[in-house]
Chain A
Amino acid sequence: MDTVISISGLHKAFGATRALDGLDLKVACGDVHGFLGPNGAGKSTTLRILLGLLRADSGAVRLLGGDPWHDTAELHRRLAYVPGDVALWPTLSGGEVIDLLGRLRGGLDTARRARLLERFELDPTKKGRTYSKGNRQKVALVAALSSDVELLLLDEPTAGLDPLMEAVFRECIGEERDRGRTVLLSSHILAEVEALCDRVSIIRNGRNVETGTLADLRHLTRTAVTADLARPPTGLDALPGVHSLEIRGTRVRCQVDTEHLDDLLAALGRAGVRSLTSQPPTLEQLFLRHYTSEPEAAAL
């Protein structure tokens, strides 16, 4: 099976609020797929529809070859989920929750459970209500990662983790990818998505605005270039795809559409390059471009 998740034209409204408004999403088998969007974009709603907790108003949703609303229990055998807002039972210890969720899923690997507890430095004997937000998240992560499943659905799983634990999380996801698992990682932390994901979907207001590999998406953005030249350049402002051009004597700063980078470099070369720095576009810029309102986006 090549496509693990396939969503097209998904709509879901809560009263007058349109949470999802024609969302499309495809996740291929073995991919770590980043699912990016600001708060309230519809990421959690999408995941909850994939879990069969919410019923879609319209649109087609396929998960692991089945229908998430009708084949719920069968599909859940093959996936694990980490909610964005982890709530634990106040009187159950973390270890009990991990075991319970694992057993409900059909068993868990006790050796892996022990390793994960150690790596995440989690005390499994504490009661649910005494864990901090980050530790509650670790409980859910250990429970999800110690099961043998094909698909991991992770809803902003690192929101409460400290940087050290975030690094552990990244290692773990890397290992999952190496084992051939598919991961749908919802996040608004760009560095995390850049570090982990093969493909990215960006959604806003319940609709996706961009999907592709990171390389694809970078083509859509501009590279920032700063150069010190031998003599003042000429004709740069006439080049296609050059924006925010600033020339101070022999120092040039500008942004250039990725497909016109060649032309700019040739023009700079004609003026004699003393030093050159170029910054590849970050996901951050992509993100800002899509999320800031339209006039601001044009200026980027």
Chain B
Amino acid sequence: MTALTGTGNLVRLALRLDRVKLPIWIVALAVMTASTASAFEGLYGTLAEREAFAATITANPALSALLGPVFDATTAGGLTAWRIGAIFGVLGGLMGHQTVMRHTRLEEETGRLELLGAGVVGRHAPLAAAQVTACGAGALAGLACAGALIALAQPVGGAIAFGAGLTGIVWTFAAVGSAAAQLTTTARAANGIAGGLVGTAFLLRAAGDALGEGDSAWPSWVSPIGWFQQLRAFGDERWWVLGLMLAFTAVVVAVAHAMAARRDIDEGMLPTRPGPAVADDGLRSPLGLAWRLQRGMLLSWTVAIAIWSAVIGSLADGVADLVGDNQQMAQIIDALGGAENIVDTYLAAVFAIVGLVTAVYALQAALRLRTEETGLRAEPVLATPVRRTAWVASHLTFALVGPALLLAVSGLAMGLVHGLRAGEPGTQVARLVGAALVQLPATWVLAGIALALFGLLPRMTTAVWGVLGACLLIGQLGAVLQFDQRVLNLSPFTHVPQLPAGDLTWAPLVWLTAVAAALVAAGMAGARHRDIA
């Protein structure tokens, strides 16, 4: 097949370029699986302990609405699959579409694909090579996770189902990524579309679990992350769900190839319009330029987080109902502080996630500085009378003010929807906007770390994603894995008061802000005194 000529060579190139990134993904996923499973094994060694634990989970609908139902509480593997399933759905999705994007649209955007395309390379080879790379990495990640569970003496069938499900997630979103890559002309926009679909899949699954009575409702079945869960690893495995994932992957891959064959290089399926011949009045300062470069991303984030928060907020009121009929559960809930408190616990858990997600935006906005620099686009600006500090501040503004906007919108959307259902919109809006905004200083610390790296260790700037990954691990799995308090304290998000369930304490907010300010100052000083690439 001449259309695929050269695929093998391109796969080798992709593996060479990804020789650090893909092993990190695979090892990180396997280590998270193994450490979660061994933590459950250690904490709840006997069947009775595990079942007692599962009962407390089921009694806490906040957790099951966010993470999905427990399909098997008899094994540590079953608890692991429940605890990390939803997170792995998101991480596997990101791994899939980003890997494809790096080797398709990004290569095309930077002009490197043209260099390759002039060689002995078939029309479909670049896209096929990216898909083979991503799917191969997904298969390895699945194998590594299944192997880790088997090595910890978990049931083999369940371990294989979990690993295969993870592989399936990577494949479906690798397919989604390769279709998105055909739509837009920039990798950034295409990743935005694919990442938005990962978020949508998570949301649909959460809605399906919250709406379902006993079994998950239909929204779970239109979400690949829902499929991953409905595979029911370690429970009564439903292997045919893997077929659903494979069929979806095959169809979307075919669509992507059909689109790729119908477009010219450097073009997307979505039309591009010519720009204005003269700049409008806003484009006259570094901040004006940063606004032009960042507004699209900020707008899409705002819309996405508003929708996400509204849906999650609409589930809050039902969280208490999920246990309404069960007398024994009702007693447990009373012990936990009553239905109102259950809803607040759920909302606090949601805001912990919103905080982490907002930090992703903060980092994207802050890292614009580095991509502008390495893309040689800082140079023409800094050759004008613009001071370096003004240029750094222009993008930093988005990394600091953007999260405030996103958090406020999240609290507003959640407060409105939840408040309308609970019949007290005014009160709920006020307290949920407040509950969202307490996350702000923690996102500033992350942005501060990004800026400090940019100023002092520019080559290491992207390592800040590793810091965010560690915060995610600590925040979402730290309690389950029983990390030492000193380790938990390393994440700024650990110190944020858990509103609306907990009490508002100002001290951590003040010193988190001070830490962020110190990091920003260090980064600014570094950026002023170093060479610009």
Contacts and interface: CB of A to CB of B under 8 A. Distances in A.
Interface stretch (B169-177, B269-277, B311-319): B269-277
Interface in A161-197: none
Contact of A51 (B109, B285, B293, B382): B382
A105 B285 CA distance: 10
A22 B324 CA distance: 82
B251 to A, nearest CB: 31
A51 B385 contact: no
B243 interface: no
5 contacts: A53-B382, A72-B387, A80-B383, A91-B275, A143-B380
A86 B381 CA distance: 12
A126 B110 CA distance: 17
B377 A125 contact: no
A86 B383 CA distance: 13
B109 A129 contact: yes
B484 interface: no
A88 interface: yes
A93 B289 contact: no
A59 to B, nearest CB: 15
Contacts of B109: 90, 129
- Chain A: interface secondary structure? mixed
Contacts of A106: 385
Interface of B: 109, 185-186, 266, 272, 274-279, 283-286, 288-289, 292-293, 296, 375-377, 379-388, 529-532
A232 B349 CA distance: 104
Contacts of A88: 377
A83 interface: yes
B274 A125 contact: yes
Contact of A105 (B288, B384, B531): B384
A106 B384 CA distance: 9
Interface string A264-281: 000000000000000000
A85 B186 CA distance: 20
Contacts of B278: 95-96, 99, 124
B458 to A, nearest CB: 13
B285 A104 contact: yes
A300 interface: no
Contacts of A219: none
A75 B442 CA distance: 40
A124 B382 CA distance: 22
Nearest to A153: B383
For the complex of A and B, the 7 pairs showing the least CB-CB separation, nearest first, are A93-B275, A99-B279, A104-B384, A87-B376, A81-B383, A125-B274, A96-B279
A140 interface: yes
B279 A100 contact: yes
A73 interface: yes
Contacts of B274: 93, 125-127
Given A92-B275, A125-B276, A100 B284 contact: yes
Interface residues of A, number: 44
A100 B275 contact: no
A6 B465 CA distance: 44
A296 interface: no
Interface in A106-132: 106, 124-127, 129-130
A104 B278 CA distance: 15
A18 interface: no
Contacts of A99: 278-279, 283-284
A226 to B, nearest CB: 45
A87 to B, nearest CB: 4
Nearest to B296: A91
A129 B384 CA distance: 22
B115 to A, nearest CB: 14
Given A76-B385, A104-B384, A90 B186 contact: yes
Given A77-B385, A100-B283, A104-B381, 19 more contacts: A48-B379, A51-B382, A52-B382, A72-B382, A76-B383, A83-B379, A87-B375, A87-B380, A91-B186, A92-B275, A93-B276, A96-B283, A103-B283, A104-B284, A104-B286, A104-B386, A124-B277, A125-B277, A126-B274
A55 interface: yes
Nearest to A105: B384
Given A104-B285, A104-B385, A105-B385, A83 B275 contact: no
B385 A93 contact: no
A245 interface: no
Contacts of B285: 103-104
Contacts of B379: 48, 51, 53, 83, 87
A101 interface: yes
Contact of A73 (B277, B387, B530, B532): B387
B380 A101 contact: yes
Nearest to B381: A104
A216 interface: no
